[in-house]
Chain A
Amino acid sequence: EVRLEESGGGLVQPGGSLRLSCAASGFTFSSYYMYWVRQAPGKGLVWVSQIGGDGSDARYADSVRGRFTISRDNAKNTLYLQMNSLRDEDTALYYCARDHGGSGVEYWGQGTLVTVSS
């Protein structure tokens, strides 16, 4: 059974940092692109970042480029999102998700909530 479990969310002041983690199990982690997707309260889904199975091909939404860094540790089956210079508008539920052969996102975690507020 595929499982994705996010952690690391919490309350942080504007300008602060957080590192999200996503523990994956039930599949060959290194074989899949992985994503971070977020949903702000009352808003829609927003793609944040992606990374290739071997850690290459890291991409970012314009709104987070230069502030967020995606990475992965295939030995630990874990995906990360380092978030720096956080802003109020980064407040959201952050989902970790697994690619479906380049055609969609097939598996999602339950999400971890990030709240940026003073």
Chain B
Amino acid sequence: DIVMTQSPDSLAVSLGERATINCRSSQSVLYSANNKNYLAWYQKKPGQPPKLLIYWASTRDSGVPDRFSGSGSGTDFTLTISSLQAEDVAVYYCQQFYTTSRAFGQGTKVEIK
């Protein structure tokens, strides 16, 4: 089974500054037949269900602010919040869709410094 590992486990960023979260998969999630990375990112706030931010590793879901961006390919991926806002305080998760195990990373907690 693919194991997803995020880093760091938590980070504190000043308002307006950049936040960067990394996600590494134990094997490639790039499907060569369509050149798509089967990797999604979610935002999870307390008391709310997760919210899909990014799919195909770099495609923003409808309505997601453009300060959120995803990058990477193969086994290494990054979620970037270009200018952190107060409402971005949350736990962020990556998830692979390459295999049927659909594993999540352990989560990265983003706070305001």
Contact = CB atoms under 8 A, between A and B. Distances in A.
A95 B101 CA distance: 16
A40 B68 CA distance: 27
Interface stretch (B17-25, B72-80, B81-89, B102-110): B102-110
Contacts, number: 65
Interface in A57-97: 57, 59, 61-62, 95, 97
Given A62-B1, A102-B38, A104-B95, A45 B44 contact: yes
Contacts of B103: 47
Contacts of B61: 100, 104, 106
Given A45-B42, A45-B104, A103 B49 contact: no
A44 interface: yes
Contacts of A45: 42, 44, 50, 93, 95, 104, 107
Contacts of A103: 36, 38, 40, 55-56, 59, 97
Contacts of B106: 44
Interface of A: 35, 37, 44-47, 50, 57, 59, 61-62, 95, 97, 100, 102-106, 108-111
